Amino acid sequence: MRKAIIIICGLFMLLGGAGGLFVPVYGYFWAREWATFFFAFGFPFFPVFYLPFAGWLLVTGVGLLAGRPWAWYSVQTFWVFLLCIGGLALVGLNLLFPLLPSVVDLGARMRMTINAALGLLLVLIPVGGLVFFDRARPDFTAAGEEPPWSRRSPAAEEWWSD
């Protein structure tokens, strides 16, 4: 079951990364007017954050499907990144709620729905991903291989024995 979930996560990341890289190409060839406005409007966001993030998803998805040890580190970094973004989004949105009634009147039920959705998508799922991939760590190491941080250096043992 664990391998199946790893493959599904890898496929989602692969498809998200490939789709994220396909959107600008599609926009350039078939919707140039719309894409030009969007890319010019979001200039610093697009080349600095969007394209590297889409490439990261693509490479991590391939690594998860291939079962590479570095993919475990990459996916753990991805979950921590989503967790930080979720925390910032929840705090920022709740700080903006008192200012929003002058622009848009959101009821208490709508605020709770937005908080619950953001909490589920950007806090609960990343925590679950961190826990799941922590328990799936043995699937990303070769049989009999130990993590490099658990090995003791003979030089350090000699130094301490003096």
Give a yes or no: residue 157 inside a domain.
Answer: no
pTM: 0.73
**What b/e sequence results for 17-48 when a residue is b if at least 16 CB atoms lie within 10 Å of its CB, and e otherwise?**
beebbeebeebeeeeeeebeeebeeeeeeeee
Residue 155 in domain? no
Domain extent at residue 23: 2-138
Q: Is position 148 within any domain?
A: no
101 band by pLDDT with thresholds 50, 70 and 90: low
In 126-139, which positions are buried (b, 16+ CB within 10 angstroms) versus exposed (e)?
beebbeebeebeee
Distance CA 119, CA 90 (A): 7
Q: List C-alpha distances in Å: 6 to 79, 98, 135.
A: 14, 41, 12
Contact between 48 and 120 under an 8 Å Cβ cutoff? The reply is no
Q: What is the pLDDT of residues 33-67, one digit of tens each?
A: 777 777 777 677 777 788 889 999 999 999 999 98
